[in-house]
Chain A
Amino acid sequence: MKFTRRDFIRGGVSAFTLSFAAPAFLSDLARAQGASRRNLVVLYLSGGNDALSMLIPFQDPFYFSRRPTIFVPASSVIQIGRDQSNVSLGLHPRLTGLKQIFEEGHLALIQRSGYPNSSRSHFLGTDIWSTAHPENSMGPGWLGRYLDSLPSPVDPLVGWCTQREVPHTLVGNRVSVPAIPVPVSSYAFSSPNPDSAERAYSRTAMAQIASHVPVDQPNLAFVNGTAEAALATLDRVASVGTYTGTVAYAGDGLSQALKTVAGAMARGIGTKVFWVQIGGFDTHSAQQVNAANAGYANLMGNLSTSLLAFYTDLKNQGLLQDTVVVQFSEFGRRIAENGSAGTDHGAAGVMMVMGGSVNGGLYGTAPNLNPAGANPTLENGGNDVTYETDFRSVYARIMDNWLGANSVSILDGDYRKSTLTFI
């Protein structure tokens, strides 16, 4: 069921490979398309984040009784106040960096975000969040559709994926987003011959071969288009590879990916949509929410230090107003722990939005974790958290109020929600 790009190629991939601009025009194009320097960074927590361990209703007795071995003690959580339903909430103790950003008013936490009949499948769930089409999640991604809506030709670096596999969210019909895994130093041309003239001959010939785009062979056209885009962007990517930043970033993958994003912003590449992600959230066993140096606690630690470094680096350079980070995961997890000191697949979760232009705070209401009786905040016999804010409303707000696109047309429906004022 997992979505692949094969369907688009079958439909005639030459359209999107041909829409790449010739390298000579790239810098002009980047300048023109970068006129608004605003960008969006999508942060994906892969595996299904246990939202109840990230944003903790630490005064709900059922949080403790249903998680007898994997609760975070009330005395450890970082208290951040009450939501509009007067529930006291706390961040995971390792989220000290996010606490700082929250206190500075630049972090919004959107509780119980999800959609009706939430899928518990990683793959279907990810496809649904990627396309914003719960009914038919096989088409292009919501940000792929946004990139497709930009006037042609587009700069190949209009999107930037910091990992090897381009996620469904960024797959469009026309625009192809480059995958530039960190460290970007390996994103360079190699020649079999050390001689510099021979090296140049090789690069010229390779680029000529890649520029051959046979319209009657869409698969070959797609591969050649990919090679061409790689060769056309090497030099600008190399300029980002030398970026050092104003703060020290940690060595983990997410920190290094965010450093690359900051570098692309500082170098004025003009990228509009970035993708970063961190895995390990499929915590079926040994979740270790309270560990000193392991498990879910470490995931929270990485999340916090990497985002704080990114935030501070941009702030130091006056770039914080230009970016919005939006975080999602394919589902939240079950309320009760399982027999392996972990949690199984659940339903609604928490989304985070961060940036200099973000109106921080707690949005929406926390679930009441009491499984007994009529409890509209739960579903599946009281086992899972039910959604309150449709994730498409969050996307709509970002489309309309940040990217300057029309959410109704990009999302194929009107999901605007006036109370969702995070931006």
Chain B
Amino acid sequence: MSRPSALIEHLLRRAGFGASPAERDSYDGLGYYEAVSRLVDFNPDETDVDNRIGTPGYVGTTSAGAFSPNQVINDARQRWLFRMIHTPAPLQEKMAMLWHQHFATAFTKISGLVEATTATRMMAAKPSEDAAGARGQIELFRQYALGNFRDLLIEVAKDPAMLYWLDGRTNTNNKPQENFGRELMELFTIGVANYVETDVYAAARVFTGWNLVNVGTTGTATAYQAFRYNGAAHDTGEKTFSFPIFANGSRTIPPRSASAGMQDGVDLINALAFHPETAKRLARRLWTWFVSEAKLPNDQFVDRIADVYLHTGTDMKATVRAVLVSPEFMDEANFFQRYSWPAEYVVRMLKEVGYVGFSVNSALQPMINMGQQLFEPPDVNGWELGPGWFSTGGMLARMNFAATVASNQRVALRDAARPSRATPQTLVKFALDRLSLPTLAPEVYGTLLDYVRAGNAWTGTDAQLLNKSGGLFHLLTGAGEYQFV
């Protein structure tokens, strides 16, 4: 089995979800910048990975009736895991997951207000498969995965799921609703230290009238709710902020007629997207998401990435590419210095250990136990990353999922391990070659050998191989070392 360089494997763990043996082969021999281009330069509209769902040779899905990822949230979760495992454009799914964290929206609140099928459409509907052409929030994030951040903010402000999640749908001139305006500044752009309470009130007024309207035919599959700017519900007065809104330094959005008032929101989003604190905050987030959780970014990195972001007019493709080719990202000292998210952990394990005969449905409850249910972040601030994933309960859930996958794959692993049956050392080497791990400490390696030898003296029988290959993959993917990417 061939393997690409350690640097490219690092890139595949960070800009994707790790690599299956076949994917590793396809990157072997590629130069680093070619590999970066292959990951970055995908066409967001051209991936046909969904067509593979339900076909042999891929991870399975399980559902109560027909597989309905546009209407049933559990199926939507399975489709997304399937995409993460099999997509030819892993950075697209990675960015979608990061935007899901950044604009964290939870299904449960929406499904408490509308029917579960409607809430699922708002979260996950694929426009080409929806009777009303509805675009679920995750499809927005996939479409804008490496798109323009300012444009993404505009789309998010008009996104039906977001309009439910942060109550923008009820924001009117008679009763301004502060929820979206506050989080837009606190979490989506400039951060909590860079605005004052009166900015929250002004932002709420800016977005008055950014509401929803019923479309399609009631009682049919075309019935849906879509964004509509409702001028009659817009507060037409002037709004003054503590930071500049316009290039000339003006902090005041002038009074506008009801029909022209939608421009208020566009002006505010422009100001926030191009605010230097937004650029720095995104640069710091990109550091945490891609480079390292073991140390803070240096100022040069933040300034360099923030500059790319601002000078390209908030283009995320250029910005993320700059991160991936940065000396900090490529520094060997930063390999395995990020705590894996449960989705990363699960997908990488399945890609490396194997998935034939496994259904991603069997990963959903374990992921809840690990602390990450897709489409269900705990609040608008998203999941607590890094060490936050690693409570005792969360770690136990990972060790137990490692046991589940090893148990499910143990026959295939036994078969693959047969050429390596000679000694405990050759069997351990087989397992280590299959996984992307940092170098293990000698005492950990010794524990693995002791484990293979435990019980009857090692002769490499099929029965021994069955127990010990599955057992080794359980120990290795449940080990602390494997929790890092």
For the complex formed, measure the closest distance between the CB of A252 and the CB atoms of chain B, giving whole angstroms: 14
Quick one: which of A1, A210, A338 contacts B177, CB cutoff 8 A? Answer: A338
For the complex formed, measure the closest distance between the CB of A20 and the CB atoms of chain B, giving whole angstroms: 11
For the complex formed, measure the closest distance between the CB of B136 and the CB atoms of chain A, giving whole angstroms: 21
- Bound complex: CA of A10 vs CA of B337, how far in Å? 12
A178 touches B393 (CB 8 A): yes
Is residue A37 within 8 Å, beta carbon to beta carbon, of the partner chain? no
Query: Contacts A10-B294, A187-B396, A205-B448 given: A197-B483 contact, CB under 8 Å?
Result: no
B475 touches A202 (CB 8 A): yes
Collect the chain B residues with CB atoms within 8 Å of residue A197's CB. Answer: 455
With most chain A CB atoms within 10 A of its CB, the pick from B197, B393, B394, B395 is B393
Is residue A306 within 8 Å, beta carbon to beta carbon, of the partner chain? no
Quick one: which of B191, B390, B443 contacts A226, CB cutoff 8 A? Answer: B390
Quick one: which of A1, A186, A230, A342 contacts B191, CB cutoff 8 A? Answer: A1
A205 touches B174 (CB 8 A): no
Number of residues in A with C-beta < 8 Å to the partner?
69
A193 touches B394 (CB 8 A): no
Is residue A321 within 8 Å, beta carbon to beta carbon, of the partner chain? no
Quick one: which of B381, B392, B455, B483 contacts A2, CB cutoff 8 A? Answer: B381
A201 touches B387 (CB 8 A): no
B443 touches A212 (CB 8 A): yes
Q: At the interface with chain A, which of B71-79, B212-220, B309-317, B402-410? A: B402-410
Collect the chain A residues with CB atoms within 8 Å of residue B475's CB. Answer: 202, 205-206, 209
- Bound complex: CA of A229 vs CA of B400, how far in Å? 15
Is residue B357 within 8 Å, beta carbon to beta carbon, of the partner chain? no
B177 touches A344 (CB 8 A): yes
Collect the chain A residues with CB atoms within 8 Å of residue B404's CB. Answer: 190, 192
- Bound complex: CA of A1 vs CA of B187, how far in Å? 9
With most chain B CB atoms within 10 A of its CB, the pick from A5, A10, A205 is A205
Is residue B432 within 8 Å, beta carbon to beta carbon, of the partner chain? no
A223 touches B396 (CB 8 A): no
Query: Contacts A192-B407, A198-B467, A209-B480 given: A233-B392 contact, CB under 8 Å?
Result: yes
Collect the chain B residues with CB atoms within 8 Å of residue A316's CB. Answer: none
Query: Contacts A219-B293, A226-B392 given: A6-B450 contact, CB under 8 Å?
Result: no
Collect the chain A residues with CB atoms within 8 Å of residue B480's CB. Answer: 209-210, 212, 220, 223-224, 227
A179 touches B391 (CB 8 A): yes
Is residue A376 within 8 Å, beta carbon to beta carbon, of the partner chain? no
Collect the chain B residues with CB atoms within 8 Å of residue A1's CB. Answer: 186, 191-193
Query: Contacts A192-B474, A284-B177, A344-B179 given: A4-B379 contact, CB under 8 Å?
Result: no
B371 touches A219 (CB 8 A): no
Collect the chain B residues with CB atoms within 8 Å of residue A152's CB. Answer: none
Is residue B52 within 8 Å, beta carbon to beta carbon, of the partner chain? no
Quick one: which of A6, A9, A164, A205 contacts B369, CB cutoff 8 A? Answer: A164
Collect the chain A residues with CB atoms within 8 Å of residue B113's CB. Answer: 285-286
Residue of A nearest to B450 (CB): A205
Query: Contacts A178-B393, A181-B369, A230-B393 given: A9-B192 contact, CB under 8 Å?
Result: no
- Bound complex: CA of A227 vs CA of B482, how far in Å? 12
Residue of B nearest to A182 (CB): B393
B339 touches A10 (CB 8 A): no
Residue of A nearest to B454 (CB): A201
B393 touches A4 (CB 8 A): no
B170 touches A340 (CB 8 A): yes
A193 touches B471 (CB 8 A): yes
Query: Contacts A198-B467, A201-B454 given: A2-B384 contact, CB under 8 Å?
Result: yes
For the complex formed, measure the closest distance between the CB of B82 and the CB atoms of chain A, giving whole angstroms: 24
A339 touches B369 (CB 8 A): no
B447 touches A201 (CB 8 A): no
Collect the chain B residues with CB atoms within 8 Å of residue A205's CB. Answer: 447-448, 450-451, 454, 471, 475
A209 touches B479 (CB 8 A): yes
Is residue A397 within 8 Å, beta carbon to beta carbon, of the partner chain? no
- Bound complex: CA of A220 vs CA of B340, how far in Å? 12
Is residue B429 within 8 Å, beta carbon to beta carbon, of the partner chain? no
Query: Contacts A186-B369, A202-B474, A344-B179 given: A192-B191 contact, CB under 8 Å?
Result: no
For the complex formed, measure the closest distance between the CB of A271 and the CB atoms of chain B, giving whole angstroms: 13
Collect the chain A residues with CB atoms within 8 Å of residue B467's CB. Answer: 193, 195, 198
Is residue A124 within 8 Å, beta carbon to beta carbon, of the partner chain? yes
B387 touches A4 (CB 8 A): yes
- Bound complex: CA of A276 vs CA of B470, how far in Å? 37
Quick one: which of A4, A206, A214, A338 contacts B386, CB cutoff 8 A? Answer: A4
Quick one: which of A181, A195, A206 contacts B393, CB cutoff 8 A? Answer: A181
Is residue A165 within 8 Å, beta carbon to beta carbon, of the partner chain? yes
With most chain A CB atoms within 10 A of its CB, the pick from B177, B385, B410 is B177
For the complex formed, measure the closest distance between the CB of A228 and the CB atoms of chain B, giving whole angstroms: 9
Could you pull out 9 A-B pairs where Cβ atoms are within 8 angstroms?
A1-B193, A192-B406, A192-B410, A214-B441, A220-B480, A223-B339, A226-B391, A285-B167, A344-B177
Seed contacts A121-B182, A223-B480, A227-B480; 7 additional CB < 8 Å A-B pairs = A4-B388, A192-B410, A192-B470, A201-B455, A202-B403, A206-B479, A340-B177
List 4 tightest A-B contacts by C-beta distance, closest first: A339-B175, A179-B391, A340-B170, A192-B406
